[in-house]
Amino acid sequence: MKVAIACDHAALDLKEAIRLHLEEKGIPYHDFGIYAQGEKLDYPYASLYVGRAIQSGDCDFGIVLCGTGVGVSIAANKMAGIRAACCGDYFSAKYTRAHNDANVLCMGERVMGAGLALELVDVFLSTPFEGGRHARRVAQIEALERGELE
C-alpha cells in the first residue's frame, strides 16, 4: 500500500503530522507538498497531484488537506475514479471505506486536531471495502461519472 499526500498552505502542519505518522508506521507514501511555511498552493492542485497518483496506479490511497477539507474534496471528486470523502469523525472515515470504497481521505486543519486526524488516517487505511450490495452502488457512482446513470 502506498499513500499520496498533499495540502494547501492552510494545512501544512497537519500534513507534517500525518507524514511523520506514516513514516513511523512504515507506510510508504509520496508527499506532493507543499513543503514549507510561506509556500502557497491553491487547493485544487493538491487534489490534482494526489488524484493523478491514484489514477496512474502509483498510489493506492490519498490524503488531501486544506483549511476545512471541503475544498480539496470537491476538487478531488471531479477526477475520474476518485472517491474522496471529507471526514471529521471516526465513523465516517471507517464507513466511507467499508461502504463507498473511498480512495481519498480529505480533512481540514482549521476544523480538527491532529490527534483525531491520525485516528481517522489509521481507520481509513485499515478498513477494507465490504463489496456485496455496496459494490453495486459504487458501480452506480462510476456510471454517474460517465454520464450513464439512468
Which residues are catalytically annotated? 66, 99
Q: Which is nearer to ligand RB5, 64 or 93 (CB)?
A: 64
Task: Compare residues 40 and 136 and give the one whose CB is closer to ligand RB5.
Answer: 40
Grid cell for residue 76 = 478531488
Tell me how far, at minimum, the Cβ of 14 lies from ligand RB5, in Å: 11
**Which of 62/67 has CB closer to ligand RB5?**
67
Nearest residue to ligand RB5, scored by beta-carbon proximity? 71
CB atoms within 10 A of CB 3: 25
* CA atoms 76, 50, 55, 61: torsion sign: negative
Q: E strands, 1-150, where? A: 3-7, 29-31, 61-66, 84-86, 104-108
Binding mask 60-89 for ligand RB5 (x = CB under 6 A): ------xxx-xx------------------
Based on DSSP, count helices (H) and strands (E) in the chain, helices before strands. Answer: 6, 5
Q: How far is the CB of 83 from ligand RB5 (least distance, A)?
A: 18
Residue 8 binds ligand RB5 (CB under 6 A): yes
Peptide bond before residue 74 is cis, with ω within 30 degrees of 0: no
- Interface positions with ligand RB5 (CB under 6 A): 8, 10, 43, 66-68, 70-71
